[in-house]
Structure 1
Amino acid sequence: MRHPDDSPARRSFSSGRAVAIPVEQNRNSSLLWLILATVATLLLMTVPFASVVTFPIRMFVTFIHEGSHALAALLSGFYVIRMTIHWDGSGLTLTSGQNVFVASAGYLGTMLFGVFLLYQAQRRDRTSLLLVGSGILVLLLTILFVNGQASWLMVLPLALAATLLLGSLRMNLPMPFRWGMLGAGGLLVLLLAVVCVMTGTFYSWVAGLSIGISLIALGIFIKPNWGQFIANFLAVQCCLDALSDLKTLFFISTLTDIQSDAASMARMTGIPAFIWAFLWLASGVLLLGVTLWLIFQHPARKGVATSSSAR
């Protein structure tokens, strides 16, 4: 059944007459949230210490970037040795092999994900799914790649610890039993933390689990209007962060020999790193431009009210 808000006009019946009333509230509301999210993003860029607010989103973007490298490696027949996320927003994905597809997947994958999120966020009925899906994606990237092939060894004790801790909250259980479950769950968490510290992946696990669970909770519990704003804000931040990183990459590739994805491409192809950085930046701008055009352009709709006698 077609939803009334998706039709060019909603019909109301009164006194035996049908009146066609033009409605674009749903579309206008979606564009309003997009504009507000963009304004909020631009304002935060000018506010001192605003990076504290956008810090979780920066971590989210880094997960998408490094996860794109990891997924490209799998598609190329390689395996992921380790995926590490750092508190400053940088990251590193070590794979068993590398090719042009793997090296270029980080920036282009982030931009593709950002414009996909931006386009889909204009549908209010999809925003909850987008937030939950993004959270599940971050959790999967964390579980699959942070410790490489050994990541699965972390899943079972982590799930057991979560079960014990949640079980200790059940009020119908005897108090000694609840305290025992709480202690066992806490001990497992402590042991897992020690292992993560020893392998240098503690921050990556904490960031991945907290971001993933937070996005899923937002998608489930937040109201649709605010969910649409958050989805648009996340998409705008993702796109602008990707473009900002590409701009920075272009300058460092032009002026320095710092190791980067563009430098890796230069070694594999013989084409200078700054050219790759420029091509990625141009591709990102083009992707964003096409997406915005698709969002804002729409067929002209005639809004002349009509009436007819009911038979």
Structure 2
Amino acid sequence: MEIADVWQRVAGVQPEPPGWLVLTTAALALLAILPAPVWRVTRTVVTIAHEGGHGVAALMTRRRLSGIRLHSDTSGLTISSGRPTGPGMILTAAAGYVAPSLLGLGGAALLADGRITALLWISILLLAGMLVMIRNAFGLLAVVLTGALFLVVSWYGGSQVQAAFAYLGVWFLLLAGVRPVVELQAKRRSGGAPDSDADQLSRLTGVSAVLWVALFLVVSLSCLLGGASWLLHWKH
């Protein structure tokens, strides 16, 4: 296949999927989030997006990104250096919890425009960029397997398979972006997360950590409502 053919395949507009597929993938995404045993596995995808958000924000604010670690308990760590205070540090700390929802909203915009294959390849490029910053074995495995799944579906999957996978992924990010924020406040209430992103932001800004959690929740819910309206409107 020539480069021009590949580009046409990636940049082209794909057929609109049937309404039942859109609704079915939304239901499947919920099933990947609500049951606790399943969530313990699928939450790793949210962690990838979360730590990726920290990493991108660090680079955009000209901090030095040293590495990213993803752990089997679905926690993660992004290490950057630079000024310990100021806008760059604040934006880097604030980016994690909103990243999955913002990615989901961006994905919904692409799907609403019929850019299914483009969404899959953009995801591959983002994962490849993150891969070079991973600094532990589990993180490498998680990102490689996720990227490989996107690659296989985008290269070998038919239009219906690609659409189902893309919609499932976007619904998952939109819906799953809410749960970690709720879990964060539950942990904070019991004293289990004294160094959470919200608490770090509170120390950096003087604004209550509860208000930062509220901001995370508003962003995630707004992305969910906006993204869902795009996805569901397209099928009419």
Partner Cα distance (1:296, 1:81) in 2: 40
Q: Does the CA contact (< 8 Å) of 1:73 and 1:102 recur in 2?
A: yes
Q: Closer, same or farther in 2 for the Cα pair 1:213/1:43, shift >3 Å?
A: closer
1:294 deviates by 3.6
1:80 equivalent to 2:65? Answer yes
Instruction: Please point out which of 265, 274, 280 is paired with 2:210.
Output: 274
Q: Which amino acid aligns with 2:158?
A: K
Gaps spanning 5+ residues in structure 2: where? 1-12
1:69 deviates by 0.5
Partner Cα distance (1:240, 1:260) in 2: 21
Q: Does the CA contact (< 8 Å) of 1:251 and 1:274 recur in 2?
A: no
Instruction: Please point out which of 134, 138, 155 is paired with 2:127.
Output: 138
Q: Which residue of 1 aligns with 2:143?
A: 208
Q: Closer, same or farther in 2 for the Cα pair 1:72/1:47, shift >3 Å?
A: closer
Q: Closer, same or farther in 2 for the Cα pair 1:48/1:27, shift >3 Å?
A: same
Identity of aligned residues (%): 22
Q: Mapping of 1:254-273 within 5 angstroms? A: 254-256=189-191, 257-273=193-209
TM superposition score normalised by structure 2: 0.81
Instruction: Please point out which of 96, 118, 121 is paired with 1:129.
Output: 118
1:71 equivalent to 2:48? Answer no
TM superposition score normalised by structure 1: 0.63
1:62 equivalent to 2:58? Answer no
Q: Does the CA contact (< 8 Å) of 1:122 and 1:228 recur in 2?
A: no
Instruction: Please point out which of 194, 204, 218 is paired with 2:153.
Output: 218
1:119 equivalent to 2:121? Answer no
Q: Which amino acid aligns with 1:120?
A: L
1:39 equivalent to 2:27? Answer yes
Q: Closer, same or farther in 2 for the Cα pair 1:49/1:85, shift >3 Å?
A: same
Larger radius of gyration: 1
SS of the equivalent of 1:84 reads strand
Q: Would you say how many aligned residue pairs link Structure 1 and Structure 2?
A: 216
Q: Which residue of 2 aligns with 1:284?
A: 220
Gaps spanning 5+ residues in structure 1: where? 1-5, 7-25, 148-200, 301-311
